[in-house]
Structure 1
C-alpha cells in the first residue's frame, strides 16, 4: 500500500520529501512513539489527533484519518534511522524542535514516562539532529503545558 512512499523515504541521497509525504512521515513517527511501549493507548492516540489537527489545520475527522493512515504506514515503515532522515531533510532545525515537543507530548500523554518511549525519543532526537538540551527543554515545556 505504501510502497512508493517507502521507496521515496529510503531512496539514497538527500531528496527532500514533498510536504504531504513529510506530513505522513511525521504522523507515522508520532505513532511509532505511541507504540514504543508495546501499545498505544487512547490518550496517546487522541493526543496525536490533536497535534495533527493543530499542526496541519485539519478537522477532527481529517486528523483521525491521517493518524489511521500513519498507523498503517508505521507498521510497514523501515527502521527509525531512515525514517527520521526523511523528516530531518524536510524540516528546518527550529521546526524539528517542535517535532520533538510533539513526540514528547505523545510519549507523556498516558501519564507514564516509559523507558522504551524515553529510549526511542533519545534515538529520534539524535537522528533528527536536535541537541539533548533542546529535547530536555521541549519535554519540560510539554510537562508544564500538558501536565
Structure 2
C-alpha cells in the first residue's frame, strides 16, 4: 500500500530506451569503461562527449544528449560483448579500430589504467573481432598522443 502511495507522487517513467546502434553501443561502452573504477569524473564525461562529437560529427549539445542516452543504456544494458558484437556486425574494420582507440582514450585519460577498465576493453575487443595486437597498437597510439600533449 505504501509503495502505491509513493508511486503516485513520482513522475511517470516515459523513458523508453532506443534500440542501440553502433554509435549508442560504443557510447555505452565508453560510459562503462569510465564508470568501471566507480569514479565517473566530469573530465571523463567531457571526453566521452568529445569522442562522440568527433566520431559521429555531433555538436556539443547533440553529443551530450547521445552520451546521456548511452548512460541509460549502460545502466539497463546487456553484457559488454553484446555491444561489441553489435559494433562488429554494423561497422567496417576502420570504424571498429576507431572504437577501440576511443575506449583506450577513456581508459588512459586519467593516467591510470584500472584493471576493471582494461577488462571491459578486452571483452569489447574480442566481441568486435579485433586482435590483441590491434588493442596493443591502439593503446600505444593513445599513450603517444597523450604524452605529446
Rg bigger for which structure? 2
Match of 1:38 in 2: 38
TM-score by length of 2: 0.83
Match of 1:74 in 2: 74
- TM-superposed CA distance for 1:104, in Å, is 0.3
Over residues 82-138 of structure 1, what are the superposed CA-to-partner deviations in whole Å (9 max), with x where a residue is unaligned?
Answer: 222111101112221111000000111122111111111111111111111111111
Match of 1:57 in 2: 57
Computed over aligned residues only, the root mean square deviation of the Cα atoms, in angstroms, reads 1.4
Match of 1:18 in 2: none
Query: Is 1:146–2:116 an aligned residue pair?
Result: no
TM-score by length of 1: 0.84
After TM superposition, where is structure 1 displaced by more than 4 Å over at least 4 residues in a row? none
- Quote the Cα distance in structure 2 between the aligned partners of 1:111 and 1:46: 16
The 8 Å contact of residues 41 and 110 in structure 1, kept in 2 or not, is answered as no
Match of 1:12 in 2: none
Structure 1 stretches of 5 or more lacking a match?
Answer: 10-20
The 8 Å contact of residues 26 and 83 in structure 2, kept in 1 or not, is answered as no
